[in-house]
Amino acid sequence: MYLPNANTRRTATAVFLAPSLIGVAVFCLLPIAMSFYYSFMDYDLLAGSMDFLGLKNFARILTGREFPQVLLHTLTYLGLYLPLILVCSLGQALLLNRSFRGRAVLRTVFYTPVITSRVAAAVVWTWVLSGRYGLMNQALSLFGIKGPAWLSSRVWAMPGIVITAVWKDTGYYALMVLAALKSIDPALYEAAGIDGAGGARKFFSITLPLLTPTLFLLVVINVIYGLQVFDSVLIMTDGGPGGATTVFLERIYKYAFRQYKMGMASAYSWILFLIILAFTLLQFRLQKRWVNYDA
């Protein structure tokens, strides 16, 4: 629809943008502003009382015994999840990039976990990782390996959660890597083959460098996701056993909706925001050392 009058165009633009802008303001900007305000308050949601504390909520968190453990467990999850998701996504993409019979079926199998609800996946994997009757330990027993009590062990609970997340997410990121693989010019491989380069040399000299922009995107996305892991932790372990899987969002949820301490929950949220911001800025600062945008 063409509107010749400039004032009419501005009015029409404002009318069409208003619903989205109102939604962003009400459901995004206002909650962010309120959480920042609550982080300085002693706000008991159940009692309805609110007293100004200044930075005391942040001081309680940062100087308490709980925070180092929460940070350690979150970084442990991230340290296990990030390399596994990158390797598995790259491996699936390389496999699907080949031509073979049954590739379409395999692609469907790989992507099916992605469309599965995270809650449903967590419930199913709670059964799979059962120490006594779980399918994982039954499969390990076929090779003579006695599996651990995954979700009841302080050592193995976090790896169990990571396995669930990798199973759930790999298919999605593999398609992103596969799209990047399809964009590589085949002439590069032909030239390398003429020069006598083998498969490994082609991978490390052509494929991997040209995939670095996509891998960088995956790293940024999954670092942010890894620092915000929540649903699988809450469903599979509820932060246990013995607090071995307490992470940031699990703490925020419990402070807000089980203890009704909205001030502490908001302060935890802003500390997590600063940590995510620091990690993201660091990644963009370091990308020049390994990301290749010359293709």
CATH of the domain at 85: 1.10.3720.10
Which pLDDT belongs to residue 115?
Answer: 93
* 138 domain residue, yes or no: yes
Percent over 90 (pLDDT), the chain: 75
* 206 domain residue, yes or no: yes
First to last CA, the chain: 40
- Give the whole-angstrom CA distance, residue 100 versus residue 80: 32
pLDDT in tens, 53-112: 999 999 999 999 999 999 999 999 999 999 999 999 999 999 999 888 888 898 899 999
Residue 278 tokens read as: 């620091």
Q: Contact, 248 vs 228, CB < 8 A?
A: yes
Residue 208 DSSP class = H
| pLDDT surpassing 60 at residue 3 | no
Among candidate residues 250, 244, 252, the one with its CA nearest the CA of residue 268: 252
pLDDT in tens, 151-170: 999 999 999 999 999 999 99
At 171, the pLDDT band (50, 70, 90 cuts) reads very high
| pLDDT surpassing 70 at residue 199 | yes
Number of domains in the chain: 1
* 14 domain residue, yes or no: no
* 37 domain residue, yes or no: no
* 193 domain residue, yes or no: yes
* 114 domain residue, yes or no: yes
Among candidate residues 75, 73, 112, the one with its CA nearest the CA of residue 92: 112
Which pLDDT belongs to residue 42?
Answer: 93
Domain range holding 162? 67-289
Q: CA angle at residue 225 from 221 to 226, to 5 degrees?
A: 115
Computed over every residue of the chain, the mean pLDDT equals: 92
Q: Contact, 223 vs 279, CB < 8 A?
A: yes
* 32 domain residue, yes or no: no
Residue 31 tokens read as: 């909650």
* 173 domain residue, yes or no: yes
